[in-house]
Amino acid sequence: MNSAAVTTVVTGIPSVVLALVATLLPTPVHAQMLTIPAGWIATAEPSGPFEEHSKLFEASHSEREWRVRVSAPTGQLEIRDDGKRTHDEGSVFPPHFHRTKDMIGRAMTVGAGGNWLVGFDAGEFGGGLWWTSQDGKRTKLLTRENVQAFVPREKDVLVFTGLSHMGHDRGAAYLFRSTDDDGELTRIADLDSAPSAALLENNGSVLIAVSNGVVTLRPDGSVVRLYKHEEMPILYPNSIAGAENDAVFVGMRFYVLRLHRGADGKFESTWFERSSKRRKW
């Protein structure tokens, strides 16, 4: 196993915005003591250089896109091969919403104060976030950044944006607040890498799977690095499950990553692969 030091980056966000984040986040229920399901085995951490690591090269071209989640009925960790993130997610559009030529890529929607937020991600070709009225007849462009994840809370929504492409890797967190007419979008944190999935914790923090590891957005607006791995971007992290005080799991191409805090406060990483003599690359 390997350890990654915890590094805190303070964002310098105005205190009034930080207070809003702390009070607007919901209180979910997470399963405790999650364990890896049967059929998975610990394996060596993938490492570069890319051209000299045969398994890493094969993994980057794998057809398996493993996604992790906690099963609601059982509270156990599930790992499923749900395919690539090319389809629209949660895309239940308002009845009269019209998707224009500027709204390109994979779409995701979320309710926001009786209205809607609609996000798009077309990778290096663009994306954006639009507010739309409940009936879909009125729309408003909020940002041209690629939308990767929503974390809703009643009338308010945390929006995670970013892009990782050809050595370019950036990410951000926004807070959307509904107003009487439409709403306001406020940038609350810069992330060290492009996000792909976000999970709310009981303490108000948000666990975020980013292109090169895992970070946490604290209620005070600071961003804490839990784990970093330079080769992860070519494995396309896609999902996150668990809790920081127990174990955090990240799904990606070919591998599943588990993080667990050691006695020294650092996070220990264990990489898993599917146990099978007949691999489908």
Domain boundaries 2-82+105-274, CATH class: mainly beta
Rounded CA-CA distance 238/224 in Å is 19
Say what the pLDDT of residue 167 is.
78
pLDDT tens digits for range 23-79: 444 444 444 579 999 999 999 888 766 556 667 888 888 889 999 999 988 899 999
Q: Which helix (H) or strand (E) holds 120?
A: strand 115-121
Rounded CA-CA distance 10/68 in Å is 29
Say what the pLDDT of residue 41 is.
96
Radius of gyration of the chain (CA): 19
Say what the pLDDT of residue 59 is.
86
Strand partners, 216: 207, 224
Say what the pLDDT of residue 3 is.
42
pLDDT tens digits for range 102-111: 999 999 999 9
Report how far apart the first and last C-alpha atoms of the chain are (Å, whole number): 25
Asked if 276 and 8 touch (Cβ cutoff 8 Å), the reply is no
Asked if 211 and 229 touch (Cβ cutoff 8 Å), the reply is no
Task: Provide the percentage of residues in the chain whose pLDDT is more than 90.
Answer: 61
Higher pLDDT, 30 or 238: 238
Rounded to an integer, the average pLDDT of 198-221 is 94
Structure tokens belonging to residue 254: 């070919």
Q: Which helix (H) or strand (E) holds 240?
A: strand 239-242
Rounded to an integer, the average pLDDT of 235-250 is 95
Q: Enumerate residues 6+ apart whose C-beta is below 8 A from 22.
A: 204, 219, 220
Instruction: Please give the model's pTM, rounded to 2 decimal places.
Output: 0.83
Structure tokens belonging to residue 226: 């839990």
Rounded CA-CA distance 72/156 in Å is 24
Higher pLDDT, 192 or 194: 194
Structure tokens belonging to residue 85: 């993130």
Give 19's pLDDT tier (boundaries 50, 70, 90): very low
Q: Is residue 241 predicted with pLDDT exceeding 90?
A: yes
Q: Enumerate residues 6+ apart whose C-beta is below 8 A from 33.
A: 246, 247
Q: Is residue 272 predicted with pLDDT exceeding 80?
A: yes
Rounded to an integer, the average pLDDT of 240-249 is 95
DSSP secondary structure string for all residues of 66-113: EEEEE-TTT--EEEEE---TTS-BS----TT----TT--SEEEEEEET
Asked if 185 and 174 touch (Cβ cutoff 8 Å), the reply is yes
Q: Enumerate residues 6+ apart whose C-beta is below 8 A from 274.
A: 39, 40, 64, 66
Mean pLDDT of the chain: 85
Q: Enumerate residues 6+ apart whose C-beta is below 8 A from 216.
A: 201, 205, 206, 207, 208, 223, 224, 226, 244
